[in-house]
Chains A and B, each alone.
Chain A
Amino acid sequence: MTNHVYIYDAVRTPRSKGKKDGALHEVKPIELGAGLFRELQKRHDLDTAYVDDVMMGCTAPVGEQGANVAKTITDFAGWDNSIPAVQMDRYCASSLDAVNSAAQNILSGWNSLIVAGGVESMSRIPMGTAGGAFLMDPEFVMKKTSVPQGVAADMVATMGGWSREDMDAYALQSQQRAAHALENGYFDQSVVPVVDQNGMTILAKDDFVKPDTTLEKLASLKPSFELMGSMGMDDHLLQKYPHIAEIDHVHTPGNSSGIVDGASAVLLGSEQAGKDLGLTPRGRILAGAVTSTDPSLIFLGPAPAAERCLKIAGLKPSDIDLWEINEAFASAVLRYMKDLDISPEITNVNGGAIALGHPLGATGAMLVSTMLDELERTGKKRAMLSLCAAGGIGISTLIERV
């Protein structure tokens, strides 16, 4: 039995605005996924019959993303009939969960080559389409003090003592770092252009980044969740935390993650699989962990998940060269850095979802490619990837360049 899980490759689509005027709106979710699969096949001359399974995250598995979109993507890409494929949903943790689950699968020896990733066309299947008891079932909402994430993000900022200025300063840095990375081609190895049936390019690079962002522009944006808060949600959440006087609504479209379309895919396998197929490993998975914390605050899970990864791998925070925490909201990032006492210098070095966008169920596996590329570019060794997710869930994956 093998005791290593190797990352043989990691790819993603570019990300584009997840609305009707976004560049990827015309692209079906199964095509977003299938395009990546065809690229993996082409790059590695992959015998897809060797692939044991496909695991794809998706948080709105309804409509054209419904009924196990992982299988339809696999079939649509023309991959072998023997691949069963499964769609997974652990909210925003979905595709990193797919990566972790695939790794566990491979470690067990039952499977040896798996594609893990995610897909989310937020322009075609808007957020909320899938409903869900956590905001739609009054009994659950009232029993569990369940409020929309934006209100909770503002609460986390209030609890942390972070102001609107803190949020905007962080957002500006994300934009600047992402713009710098984009301009210098840091993402080029992983980003696979989305093309049409004629091979004509629909979108080649991330187009959501706003390099001309300034603090003044950020400061002019209206708080996104003030109205919601005033409709009872603030008071509802405050009932659970009586030491807080009021919620400071600090998040805006400028310092929250962007709504985008996109897909991701990571090729994971055992050492033997690599030998059999002549693949060169780029990295390996040292540990993965998923946990959950206070569901009303949503964003506290990533730090304990990262700590568990360190424990599993027998490492200390100082052994980690780069930290990547999904920028769902600026406060989620500040909270993660505070909880783990890590430096902003080595956290989200190429920006994140505030600048690049957050295609919910596809983001986690995107972090794998972003970090792997960065480790290779800088010659560094280890990176910790984390995301927060609804329900207080936090997920982390610890990777190492080989």
Chain B
Amino acid sequence: MSVFKYEKDQDGIVTITMDMTGPVNAVNEEFEGVMSETVARLEDESDLSGVVFASAKQTFFAGGDLNVILAMQPGQEKEVFDNVEKLKDMFRRLEKLPVPVVAAINGAALGGGFELCLSCNHRIAWEDKSVEIGLPEVQLGLMPGAGGVVRLTHLLGLQGALPFLLEAKKVRGAKAKEVGFVHETVAELEQLVPRAKAWILENKDDPQASIQPWDSKGHKIPGGNIMNPKIAQVALVAPQMLRQKARGLMPAPESILETAVEAITSGFDAAQRVESRKFAALATSPQAKNMISTLFFQLNEVNAGSSRPQGIDTSKVKKVGVIGAGMMGQGIAYVAAKVGIEVVLKDMSMEAAEKGKAYSEKLLDKAISRGRSDETKKAQLLNLIHPTDKNEDLAGCDLVVEAVFEDMGLKHKITKDLEPQLADGGVWASNTSSLPITQLAEASDKPENFIGLHFFSPVDKMPLVEIICGDKTSDETLAKGFDFVQQIKKTPIVVNDKVGFFTGRAFAAQLNEAAQMLSDGIDPIRIDNLGKAVGMPIGPLAINDEVSLSLLVKVRKAHLESGLIKLEDDKYPEAWALRETLVHEYNRGGRYHGDGGYFDYTDEGKVLWPKLREMYFKPEVNEAVDNQDIKDRLLFSCVIETLNCLEEGVLRTVADANIGSIFGIGAPPWTGGYLQFINTYGLERFINRCDELSERYGDRFKAPAMVAEKLAAGELFN
């Protein structure tokens, strides 16, 4: 029996129920075979009055097979092109059938799934939360290749289609109808196919019902084509805005924009071919490989618990204690209460604790003003947060997250004082960003129940939590920590214990390298702009101002004094000397500390602190260093530090490194994370480039040995 159930009823309507091998319907070899048979059979069918496409799966259709796309290498563009052209041909023949074709959308129709729907004359969706419709390919460095860009542009016009194509916006239910993705919706799943058939019968005398808008006589693209001055204006501004946003690092949105403009410029079939050509180029691009590997496969792995110990039952936290109602504590309280966890928010004074709770209120008021929450939800959430200054209020917490200042002594004292309040088998977590968990756990009676949960600021926005296992942390405690992170809807990565853990070290690398370059004599404006050119969210000097120069100097001093780090291991002595000069001699502690940092901050924005150039800028050095070197110094310093973490066993998996770097510390998504970057850059090329950089700028750029080992073994960082 075919995986496409083909049933013709007495009205001459054929219903195709897709039920492919595997959990979902998808574009793959099986699909090509069965779809091509089906289209041919429909073309030959006698007394046909209409066609309904339906799905026997929970999703309608899942789109392309990413494994296939991931395997396509440069040089195979023709193969990719031929494949999508074949698909397009089937879709084109489907929409050119002399009878109406209706998509009965019972579940998610994303990517290729929605492209199939767009090739139907009429689209009806079930009004259910699960029925998400959209073209999210851009998020994985791809674009719709089965006619999606061209058809959506013809359907909605350039201005209407671009947000869905460039921002991967998905819609459901009434919204899907409102924006024109579907023509109608039904409330009950059972109504779906009958309604599809009814529509065919209602329209059996309307010849237009079987003709797509773009094939209709006198078809006008909504808003007009490229000759329309208003649309020309859109075409003029869109690439400028895209370049501002994506900085030329993302070929996918660029190809989408180019194809959409082509769709309003040339004929339908020609534009479709252009779409195939651009898809072929994208599918083989390093950026797509990086993004698919990390943001699809590895993210799925991480979310499925690949770093969570096996064989331990999933746990849920009912009551969490948060100690310290400062910036981090108040954010942790909010995200926990948001998923219904009871929160005890403790600080030294009731006033401070209340202030921490007020943060949640502020966030909720903002959400309400944007229509994303309501007063009831707000009351419910706030009800869950109990501010207190009393230790005993923590009694019975199954998890305590300590989020006080980064001071070993202070943290030890709090652990000793408050640990007894934990429920039996409760977990004690420290939200430290740098102090070793093993040492923190020395104050604990149950170091096996002690773990690090490193949150990122602002907690309500940042999707990552870095889980740190101390020497004695038990598997059970790790599993509990992991489950909690997922419970609050964040992505957990798991690392081993060493100063700075993973994210702190990789993040600091670019800040240190930037300071080093300043000290070398390179133009600070160039450094920041080229950091952005690599894809860093803001320039490394500006970021350093945000996180504060004085804090870095202070923490380093404390680490040196406590012996956590040694002066002779320092890879950036000049960088630190420069920072210390700025902080101690000129009171340049950062944006919020002292008189500003590398930049001066005014209401008008930021301008470079003039003295910085005076003291450090050396035109001859600056001119001798080319842009690519500066870009690579910033990017490679992070990549090399990530490799060091892997080599030292701080990182346990490649997936955690990649996901952690993108979700936690602003690694450019096009790299696929700091390890995946090496895979598509090429291991040998990476080693050679490291050699060049180390020759010019110092031994810290030598590629760690494991790159050569992987290369020799013919392996990638997977």
Q: Which residues from chain A sit less than 8 Å from chain B, CB to CB?
A: 128, 131, 135-139, 141-142, 145, 147, 231-236, 238-239, 242-245
Q: Which of A131, A136, A231, A242 contacts B627 (CB 8 A)?
A: A242
Once the chains bind, are A232 and B242 in contact (CB under 8 Å)?
yes
- Chain B 245-285, CB-CB to A under 8 Å as 1, else 0, gives 10110000010011001000000000000000000000000
Q: Are A244 and B254 in contact (CB under 8 A)?
A: no
B536 close to chain A: CB less than 8 A = no
- The reply to whether B243 and A142 contact each other, CB–CB distance below 8 Å, is yes
Is the pair B226, A232 in contact by a Cβ cutoff of 8 Å? Answer: no
- In the complex, 17 of the A-B residue pairs with CB atoms within 8 angstroms, ordered by the A residue number, are A138-B235, A138-B238, A139-B254, A139-B258, A141-B240, A142-B254, A231-B237, A232-B240, A232-B244, A233-B244, A235-B247, A236-B244, A238-B529, A239-B243, A239-B247, A242-B529, A245-B607
Inter-chain pairs besides A138-B254, A138-B261, A236-B244, 12 sampled, C-beta below 8 Å: A135-B236, A138-B238, A139-B254, A147-B240, A231-B240, A232-B242, A236-B243, A239-B529, A242-B526, A242-B529, A243-B526, A244-B529
CB-nearest residue of chain A to B531: A242
* Min distance, Cβ B296 to any Cβ of chain A, angstroms: 26
In the bound complex, residues from chain A placing their C-beta under 8 Å from that of B530 are 242
Q: Which residues of A contact B607 (CB under 8 A)?
A: 245
Inter-chain contacts of A238 with B (CB < 8 A): 529
Closest to B605 in A: A246
**How near does chain A come to B353, taking the closest CB pair, in angstroms?**
43
Count of B interface residues, CB-CB < 8 Å: 28
Which one, B258, B261, B533, contacts A242 given CB within 8 A? B533
B526 A131 Cβ-Cβ under 8 A? no
> Which 4 A-B pairs have CB atoms at the shortest separation, nearest pair first?
A232-B244, A242-B529, A138-B239, A232-B241
Q: Which residues of B contact A243 (CB under 8 A)?
A: 523, 525-526, 529
Q: Which of B232, B235, B243, B257 has the most CB of A within 10 A?
A: B243
- Neighbouring B residues of A138 by C-beta, 8 Å: 235, 238-239, 242, 254, 257-258, 261
Cβ contacts under 8 Å, B247 to chain A: 235, 239
Partner of A231, one of B235, B241, B523, B529: B241
Determine whether B488 belongs to the interface, using a CB cutoff of 8 Å to chain A: no
- State which of A142, A235, A245 has its C-beta within 8 Å of the C-beta of B239: A142
Q: Which residues of A contact B254 (CB under 8 A)?
A: 138-139, 142
Contact B243 A232 (CB under 8 A): yes
Are A232 and B237 interface neighbours, CB within 8 A? yes
CB B713 to nearest CB in A, in angstroms, measures 38
Give chain B residues whose Cβ lies under 8 Å from the Cβ of A145: 243
The SS class assigned to the A binding surface is: helix
- Kindly list chain A residues whose C-beta atoms are within 8 Å of the C-beta of B258: 138-139
Within the complex, what minimum Cβ distance (angstroms) separates B452 from chain A?
38
* In the bound complex, CA of A231 to CA of B237 (Å): 7
- Residues A136 and B235 in contact, CB atoms below 8 Å apart: yes
Q: Is B189 interfacial (CB 8 A cutoff)?
A: no
Closest to B246 in A: A142
Segment 108-162 of B: residues with Cβ below 8 Å from A: none
Asked, given contacts A136-B235, A242-B530, whether A142 binds B244 with beta carbons under 8 Å apart, the answer is: no
The answer, yes or no, to whether B608 is at the interface (CB within 8 Å) is yes
- Given A136-B232, A138-B254, A239 and B533 touching (CB < 8 A)? yes
How would residues 377 to 395 of chain B score, 1 for a CB under 8 Å from any chain A CB and 0 otherwise?
A: 0000000000000000000
- The answer to whether A142 and B242 have CB atoms under 8 Å apart is yes
Q: Is the CB of B526 within 8 A of A141?
A: no
Question: Which residue of chain A has its CB nearest to the CB of B251?
Answer: A142
Q: Which chain A residues border B526 with CB–CB below 8 Å?
A: 242-243
Q: How far is the CA of A145 from the CA of B254 in the complex (A)?
A: 13
A234 to B258, CA, bound (A): 21
A154 CB, nearest partner CB in chain B, Å: 15
Among B240, B525, B530, chain A packs the most CB atoms within 10 A around the CB of B240
In the bound assembly, the distance between CA atoms of A313 and B526 in angstroms comes to 42
Residue of B whose beta carbon sits closest to that of A230: B244
Q: Mark B165-205, 1 if CB is under 8 A from A, else 0.
A: 00000000000000000000000000000000000000000
Residue of A137, A147, A233, A245 near B261 (CB, 8 A) is A137
Q: Which residues of B contact A131 (CB under 8 A)?
A: 226, 232
Shortest Cβ distance from A238 into B: residue:
B529
Point out the residues of chain B lying under 8 angstroms from A231, CB to CB: 237, 240-241, 244
A-facing mask of B15-36, CB < 8 A → 1, else 0? Answer: 0000000000000000000000
The answer on a CB contact under 8 Å between A232 and B245 is yes
Instruction: Output the least CB separation between B602 and chain A (Å).
Output: 14
Separation of A299 and B236 alpha carbons in the complex (Å) = 21
Complex interface: chain A residues within 8 A of B245 (CB):
232
What string of 1s and 0s marks CB contacts (under 8 Å) between B446-488 and chain A?
Answer: 0000000000000000000000000000000000000000000
- Bound together, the chains give a CA A308 to CA B526 distance in angstroms of 34
Give Cα A234 to B244, complex, Å: 8
Chain A residues positioned under 8 Å from B525 (CB to CB): 242-245
Determine which residue in A135, A242, A243, A245 has the highest number of CB atoms from chain B within 10 A of its CB, and name it: A242
